A and B are shown apart, each in its own frame.
Chain A
Amino acid sequence: MYSDKNYYTKDHEWVKIEGDECTIGITDFAQKQLGDVVYVEMPEIGTQLEVHQSIGVIESVKAVSDVYSPLSGEVTAVNEDLNDSPELVNEDPHEKGWIIRLKMKDESEIQNLMKVSEYEKFLDGIED
Chain B
Amino acid sequence: MKKTRLNACHKQLNAKMVEFCGWEMPIQYMGIVEEHLAVRTKAGLFDVSHMGEIMVSGNQALDYVQRLSPNNAARLAVGKAQYTALTTPEGTFVDDMLVYCLGEKDYLLVVNAANIDKDFAWVDSHKSGFDVSVSNLSDAYSQLALQGPKAREILEPLTDVDLEEMKTFAFAMGKVAGEEALISRTGYTGEDGYEIYTLSENPAKIWDAVMEQGKSLGIHPIGLGARDTLRLEAMLMLYGNDIDETTTVLEAGLRWVVKFKKGDFLGRDALLKQKEEGLKRRLVGFELVGKGIARPHFPVYIGEERVGEVNSGTFVPFLKKSIGTTYLPIEKTEIGTEFDIEIRGRKTRAKVVPTPFYKRD
Q: What is the CA–CA distance of A38 and B32 in the complex, to the nearest angstrom?
A: 11
Within the complex, the shortest CB–CB distance from B294 to chain A, in Å, comes to 11
Q: List 24 A-B contacts (CB under 8 A).
A: A35-B28, A35-B225, A36-B31, A36-B32, A36-B33, A38-B293, A38-B315, A38-B317, A39-B292, A39-B293, A39-B322, A41-B292, A57-B344, A60-B32, A61-B33, A61-B225, A61-B229, A61-B314, A62-B27, A62-B32, A62-B225, A64-B293, A87-B33, A90-B31
Alpha-carbon separation in the docked complex, A90 to B322 (Å)? 19
Which residue in chain B gives the minimum CB-CB distance to A66? B344
Produce 1/0 per residue, B277-314, CB < 8 A to A: 00000000000000111010000000000000000001
Set of chain B residues within 8 Å of A59, measured between Cβ atoms: 292-293, 315
Binary interface encoding of chain B residues 25-54 relative to chain A, with 1 for a CB under 8 A from any of its CBs, else 0:
001100111100000000000000000000
* SS class, residues of chain B in contact with chain A: mixed
Number of interface residues of B (CB under 8 A): 17
A residues neighboring B (CB under 8 Å):
35-36, 38-39, 41, 57, 59-62, 64, 87, 90
A54 to B28, CA, bound (A): 28
How distant is the Cα of A87 from the Cα of B315 in the complex, in angstroms? 13
Of B292, B295, B315, B344, the most chain A CB neighbours within 10 A belong to B315
Query: Which residue of B has the minimal Cβ distance to A36?
Result: B33
CB distance from B199 to the nearest CB of A (A): 33
Q: Give the total number of A-B pairs whose CB atoms are below 8 A apart.
A: 40
Given contacts A35-B225, A39-B291, A61-B315, 14 further A-B contacts (CB under 8 A): A35-B28, A36-B34, A38-B33, A38-B315, A38-B317, A39-B292, A39-B322, A57-B344, A59-B292, A61-B314, A61-B317, A62-B225, A64-B295, A90-B31
Most buried by B among A35, A38, A59: A38
Residues of B within 8 A of A64 (CB): 293, 295
In the complex, chain A residues whose CB is within 8 Å of the CB of B293: 38-39, 59, 64
List A contacts of B292 (CB < 8 A).
39, 41, 59
Give the nearest-CB partner of B320 in chain A: A38
- Min CB distance B38 to A, Å, is 13
Nearest-CB residue, chain B, relative to A39: B293
Q: Which residue of A lies closest to B36 (CB)?
A: A61
Which chain B residues lie closer than 8 Å to A38 at the CB level?
A: 33, 293, 315, 317
Residues of B within 8 A of A62 (CB): 27, 32, 225, 314
Contact partners of B225 in chain A: CB under 8 A: 35, 61-62
